[in-house]
């Protein structure tokens, strides 16, 4: 899979553009924002979108456009960091478990069973509940709740790869287990893992927004899209625009990763093309 193929696949390309755009916004939020996202101005609160505030202002008079732009930072961090954590754990544990088999595999599988016996969002709520609601714990919780998926899938691909000729060849020339696992099996199974990462980031962004929405993720006054939406229910009569922009921001970001992941999967496995 090389980079130029990604550009030729329509949905992957669209997804890539969206993802890069959101990354750009997140990085350059301070330059792009017309105002300080935390600056309150109670005299000018709940003003509908106009020339001075393109997206309007929220209940504390903060500029909504700036908050949405800065929110890209929090939301991307909440989506990407937990998944990187889950991927790292998944790769190490999954490959070892699949490669070693036997008792290790059995124990690992029972632990993932345990994690999977509670719906993942409930697991995240539970973790945040026991360690206290804040941004770091939310990331941790989301990371943990996705670990089992990663371990399972990486283990399954390792099981298949383990029987391939190149692994036998490596064994025949006396390569060590570590070298076979991480020097040879890992590069061979990395493409499906990339697809998984992309698709799961989209899920994690939604889960993070939902956690923040119910008050268990980012805490005020952090600009975070889910959190920004959670207050809007009270103003739905007077200011429906409050919920439009953060919502669209979440959808666009999540859609970008979804399209990219779907597109990458089609590229890797043309059998599924058009089947979603």
Partner 1 sequence: MLAFFALNAAPGDPTQIVLGQHWTPARAAEIRTRLGLDKPLLVRYFMWLYNASQGDFGRSYATHEEVRVMILHALPISLELATASLMIALPVGALIGIYSAIKRTSPLDYISRVFVVGMSSMPIFWLGLVIIDLFAVQLPLFPTGGMGSSLSIVLPACSLAFYSLAGIVRMTRSSMLEVLRKDYVRTARAYGFSERVVTYRYALRNALIPVVTLSGLYVGTVIGSAIITEQVFAWPGLGSLIISAVFRRDTPVVLGGVLTVAVFYLLINLCIDFVYVYLDPRIKLG
Residues that bind partner 1 (CB under 8 A): 113-123, 125-130, 202, 206-207, 209-210, 213-216, 226, 229-230, 232-233, 236-237, 240, 243, 247, 250-251, 254-255, 258-259, 262, 272, 274-276
**Shortest gap between Cβ of 6 and partner 1 (angstroms)?**
18
Cβ-defined contacts of 229-235 (< 8 Å, 24+): 231/58, 231/59, 234/59, 235/46, 235/59
Closer residue to partner 1 in complex, CB, 99/257 = 257
191: nearest Cα among 157, 223, 219: 157
User: Distance between CA atoms of 256 and 268, rounded to whole angstroms?
Assistant: 18
User: Distance between CA atoms of 271 and 120, rounded to whole angstroms?
Assistant: 30
**Shortest gap between Cβ of 25 and partner 1 (angstroms)?**
17
Token pair in block for residue 44: 């000018």
**Shortest gap between Cβ of 169 and partner 1 (angstroms)?**
35
Closer residue to partner 1 in complex, CB, 170/262 = 262
Closer residue to partner 1 in complex, CB, 91/260 = 260
User: What are the residue ranges of helices labelled H in 117-240?
Assistant: 120-131, 135-162, 165-172, 177-178, 186-213, 225-230
**Shortest gap between Cβ of 216 and partner 1 (angstroms)?**
7
Closer residue to partner 1 in complex, CB, 154/167 = 154
**Shortest gap between Cβ of 149 and partner 1 (angstroms)?**
10
User: Distance between CA atoms of 261 and 20, rounded to whole angstroms?
Assistant: 14
Closer residue to partner 1 in complex, CB, 96/249 = 249
Phi, psi (5° rounding) for residue 62? -85, 145
């Amino acid at each position: 899979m090389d980079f130029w193929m990604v550009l030729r696949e329509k949905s992957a390309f669209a997804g890539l553009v969206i993802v890069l755009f959101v990354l750009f916004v997140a990085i350059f939020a301070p330059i792009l924002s017309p105002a300080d996202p935390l600056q309150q101005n109670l005299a000018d609160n709940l003003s509908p979108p106009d020339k001075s505030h393109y997206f309007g202002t929220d209940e504390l008079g903060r500029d909504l456009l700036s908050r949405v732009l800065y929110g890209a930072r929090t939301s991307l961090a909440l989506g990407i960091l937990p998944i990187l954590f889950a991927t790292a754990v998944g790769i190490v544990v999954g490959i070892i478990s699949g490669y070693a088999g036997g008792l290790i595999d059995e124990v690992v599988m029972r632990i993932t069973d345990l994690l999977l016996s509670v719906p993942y969002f409930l697991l995240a709520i539970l973790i945040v509940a026991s360690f206290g609601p804040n941004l770091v714990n939310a990331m941790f919780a989301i990371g943990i709740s996705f670990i089992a998926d990663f371990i399972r899938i990486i283990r399954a691909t390792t099981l298949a790869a383990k029987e391939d000729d190149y692994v036998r060849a490596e064994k025949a020339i006396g390569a060590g287990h570590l070298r076979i696992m991480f020097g040879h099996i890992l590069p061979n199974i990395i493409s499906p893992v990339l697809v998984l990462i992309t698709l799961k980031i989209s899920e994690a962004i939604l889960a993070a927004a939902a956690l923040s929405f119910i008050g268990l993720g980012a805490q005020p006054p952090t600009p975070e899209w889910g959190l920004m939406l959670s207050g809007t229910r009270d103003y739905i009569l007077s200011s429906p625009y409050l919920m439009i922009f953060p919502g669209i921001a979440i959808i666009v970001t999540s859609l970008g990763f979804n399209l990219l992941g779907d597109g990458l999967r089609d590229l890797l496995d043309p059998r599924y093309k058009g089947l979603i």
